[in-house]
Structure 1
């Protein structure tokens, strides 16, 4: 299973200390992620809200009002010290991950010449976000290609041509890029011999034949009648990363489910209620590629000032105090889920309800659902599967 995400933001020139505990931080991420995904197009999408948060957090540290207060509110963080504490915590968690590959790479490209990051922002970029710094001539026709090559190197060459040559020009001062790469194998693998074409209900009237995987194993499982959904958590090798699938009971229920999550549903609290039980699991193989225009999406979440060419408040990024604004913000992402897995072994976790040998649940994801990849309880990637890709689906539609 692979996931890749890129977030690109170029900047153009305009002619109290707080600690959050792990659960509070996870809850803040979950709320931002749900609101983020609720604003996406009503198609199959993959995104990394956390990837967007990385760069919005860096912007928060380099801005004053009006951008500063909007950014903190969107992130669910009270002040700059909370930003530093939270994202330093992310970095520390990543250092000890076992069993999977998760690389997060941040880079700040700065226009050659008399431009440099402010000393405070440079310190934060390196120490808080572990970002690389590089001077570049954005007027050179090769600049976009060089950034694209860096992106390819950080995503195992899965994401190419992120930037077009006309994305950069003489007004560009900074380019921030965040790249994520994830690869994990299931603790309990799906045997390909059990994969067969079955109907996937895109909506109440449309069905396609897709390869559906099957396994019967012990997983973390739960239900919540309040949102009419089932929960299934499947771990990857090392058991520090997992995929949570949230499946509405109704075929057309995924939009209502997203609304519940965006309105403040306690998803992190629900994870604590899952119990270990034998489950008959049927889920589709799927592949999604998405490009998201964040300049259209973020204002719907209350992040507007950073795009204002006249009064953004982004005046603490450069050492000369120049006011900048965001002219373009794009995220590209890719995910593929298949049978790959390590040797089968039972998933274990502390504080779980003992397995009942008498009970076997059924979890049949044959209609739109939400899939979330958690790493050490932090939600890194969200997918909303409304229909598997044409590459994996037979698309024998019928009414």
Structure 2
């Protein structure tokens, strides 16, 4: 028994779009498993990283195509582009909240894109393209970061550093996801109390615990030994999903079990409507991540390889390119009104050195848990953000 999530889709989802969303869900789980090895809070936008790599995929040839296709679980390049256009158009139809997704490519002045690549990223990914003088490092960095700050409502003000620009730098691919929404049912500030939160290392910290009776979807997952609560934002197209281990020190066991489960099954299957008396800590933090090593581990070594990377379908010069750096900054603020989240993924591409129900549940998030911000439902679920709440701060 599900309450409506108001999935107003303006066209029937294509098989390719479904494949993209499935691939993003698998990609999300793999990314999270690697990032979760280190203690502490985790937060990222898998959609942002997936989208920017999908743009890069449009310029790939040979073995590089096959590896990107397999790791990201993509259809062919044309179908991927068409699917992303559908997904981006669909996200624009969401009402009652703010959701901005933007792509931009800054290319070294005097470099020209191949017409086919430029037309593809403009038409299907709605990407802006702009030439930039990388010789003036300070001005170039200021320009890049100014765009990022503007697109994230000043929540992320700096993503590119001067040391990332050198003679080999050919271009930067940027993706921004910015989200701001109120809860379907807000928490009352007067109900927020200072209460203990039990961190996984045995430490207890005082947090601002929001409280209230909320309608949502719920289940207990016996295999994971965890409760799952789906909490809608206004309009019900986007929701926060909280996966809370039963044991206060159960986060590591939960993460290990999630590695072998379908994320979509966990957050969507067998959920039923409840009223929960929810205790949820306010939290706010920012993370910066260098993703090179993680993408190597996931099987994308080839895109960084001077000899094996093949992105010859991007620039007119015929110079082969490879990826120099992939990094992301992400920000989240969860409070009584709702949530605000932003993420920026940047890919520095350089010239290669060698050319080539009414049940009431007491749901108390007073120990580490996993959370996701998801658009859509079932096989059409689109994981926009995910994270681990390890030790909340506000």
TM-score by length of structure 1 reads 0.85
Any unmatched runs of 5+ in structure 2?
1-12, 340-356
Q: Determine if the alignment matches structure 1 residue 116 to structure 2 residue 119.
A: no
Aligned to 1:28: 23
Superposition deviation, residue 266 in structure 1: 4.4
Deviation (angstroms), 1:265? 2.2
**Equivalent residue number for residue 240 of structure 1:** 237
> 1:133-282 residue pairs with structure 2 within 5 A?
133-141=129-137, 142-203=139-200, 205-268=202-265, 270-282=267-279
| 1:128 equivalent in structure 2 | 124
**Are the counterparts in 2 of residues 31 and 261 from structure 1 also a CA contact under 8 Å?**
no
Other structure's SS at 2:62 match? coil
Shift of 1:272: 3.9
Aligned to 2:32: 37
The separation in 2 between residues aligned to 1:81 and 1:183, in whole angstroms, is 31
Q: Residue 22 of structure 1: CA displacement?
A: 5.9
**Match of residue 390 from structure 2:** 386
- Deviation (angstroms), 1:287: 1.0
8 Å CA contact 2:19–2:73 kept in 1: the answer is: no
Q: For residue 55 of structure 1, what is the aligned residue in structure 2?
A: 52
Cα gap change, 1:27 to 1:59, in 2 (>3 Å): same
After superposition, the Cα gap between the structure-2 partners of 1:166 and 1:270, relative to the gap in structure 1 and judged at 3 Å, is: closer
Q: Are the equivalent residues in 2 in contact too, given 1:26–1:268 (CA < 8 A)?
A: no
Return the alpha-carbon distance in structure 1 between the equivalents of residues 144 and 267 of structure 2. Answer: 40
Greater alpha carbon shift after TM alignment, 122-131 vs 307-316: 307-316
Deviation of 1:270 (Å): 4.3
SS, match of residue 329 in structure 1: strand
- 1:369 equivalent in structure 2: 369
Deviation of 1:21 after TM superposition, in Å, equals 6.3
Residues 97 and 234, structure 2, Cα contact 8 Å, conserved in 1? yes
Q: Aligned partners of 2:95, 2:194: CA distance in 1, in Å?
A: 34
TM-score, with normalisation over the residues of structure 2? 0.86
- The aligned counterpart of 2:347 is none
1:172-196 deviation digits (Å, cap 9, x = unpaired): 1111111121100001111111111
Task: Give SS of 1:66's match.
Answer: helix
Partners in 1 of 2:253 and 2:65 — Cα distance? 32
For the residue of structure 1 that corresponds to 2:235, the secondary structure is coil
| Matched residues, number | 358
SS at match of 1:339: coil
Listed one character per residue, the Cα deviations across residues 141-174 of structure 1 (whole Å, up to 9, x for unaligned) are 3111111111110011111122222221222111
- Alpha-carbon distance between aligned partners in 1 of 2:263 and 2:330, rounded to the nearest angstrom: 26
- Kindly report the root-mean-square deviation, in angstroms, between the aligned alpha carbons of the 2 structures: 1.9
1:255–1:116 Cα change, 3 Å: farther
CA displacement at 1:124 relative to structure 2: 1.5
Q: Secondary structure at the match of 1:203?
A: coil
